[in-house]
Structure 1
Amino acid sequence: MTPADHKKVGGLMEAYFEGLHQADSTMLRQVFHPQLAYVCATEGDELYLDLETYMGRVDGREPPARRSDPRQEEILEIAFAGSRLARVSARMTMMGREFHDLLTLVRDGAEWRIVAKVFSYAPRKD
């Protein structure tokens, strides 16, 4: 893929991390595809949501930023599988948990969008 594609996906990920840190569903709607599949794969807490249900949960949580939680995130891998398909592996810490996200992105017109968020978590180890 082109450097421009890497830059766009990097920008999308920055907005994703910031949207989660601020619990800002308006910002997150800009990175998620309207047909988002949200899947928690943590044993004992399996969960399957659509975009609207997930955004309702985001709106109902206290933003980590308001609690002065530091942003701790890392993009582990960005892989392109053609001009319209990409995968991002990322990790982040928030709400007392360590998350590992596997995000599937599709190009929606000129922009990349997250169409599937599959993740697991474990309690943060301090």
Structure 2
Amino acid sequence: MNDRATCHSLLDAVERYFDLMFDSEVSRFDQVFAPSAQLHGLRDGNLRLLSALEYKNALASGPSPKSKNAPRQQEILLVDFASPTQAVVKVRVRIDALLYLDYLAYHRINGAWLITAKSFHVEHRYEVSKS
């Protein structure tokens, strides 16, 4: 159903997501998330809901994993196309001391793949050394 160019453009969008999670460069946020995106996940037993703007502000408010020399870990676990303009991507990504399992809903909007919904799960917490 999907041609090679469509697949590659989605994978490029996932790479932009990984880059944003590592360097927190919010000037590129709108190239990753749709303005209407919502994020849901359980953290410490509580459901967290964030709008795209709230998440952008959260990324901008603290040091990035890159600036803290945190390890970079990322992998794509699943890509599932519903159509040439809609897909779900399951990824594992480490953000500083937390390893997340994310389900990212993508829509191709004006030719660009953007995340319209993110469901996250904290899979593992790493001990952070105090050096």
**What interval of TM-score do these two structures reach, taking the shorter chain for normalisation?**
over 0.9
Q: 1:43, CA displacement in angstroms?
A: 5.5
User: TM-score under structure 2 normalisation?
Assistant: 0.89
Question: Which residue of the partner structure matches residue 89 of structure 1?
Answer: 90
Please tell me whether the aligned partners of residues 103 and 118 of structure 1 are also in contact (alpha carbons under 8 angstroms).
yes
State percent identity of aligned pairs. Answer: 25
Cα RMSD of the aligned pairs, angstroms, is 1.5
| Paired letter, 1:77 | L
Q: 1:125, CA displacement in angstroms?
A: 5.2
Question: Which residue of the partner structure matches residue 125 of structure 2?
Answer: 124
Please tell me whether the aligned partners of residues 76 and 90 of structure 1 are also in contact (alpha carbons under 8 angstroms).
yes
Please tell me whether the aligned partners of residues 85 and 107 of structure 2 are also in contact (alpha carbons under 8 angstroms).
yes
Q: What stretches of structure 1 of length at least 5 have no aligned partner?
A: none
Structure 1 residue ranges (4+ consecutive) displaced by more than 4 angstroms after TM superposition: none
| Paired letter, 2:109 | D
Please tell me whether the aligned partners of residues 93 and 124 of structure 1 are also in contact (alpha carbons under 8 angstroms).
no
In structure 2, relative to structure 1, the CA distance for the partners of 1:45 and 1:25 (3 Å cut) is farther
Q: 1:49, CA displacement in angstroms?
A: 1.1
Question: Which residue of the partner structure matches residue 72 of structure 1?
Answer: 73
| Paired letter, 1:121 | V
Q: What stretches of structure 2 of length at least 5 have no aligned partner?
A: none
Where does 1:7-86 land on structure 2 (aligned, <5 Å)? 7-42=8-43, 44-86=45-87
- How many Å separate the matches in 2 of 1:4 and 1:45? 40
User: TM-score under structure 1 normalisation?
Assistant: 0.92
Partner of 2:63: helix, strand, or coil? coil
Question: Which residue of the partner structure matches residue 107 of structure 1?
Answer: 108
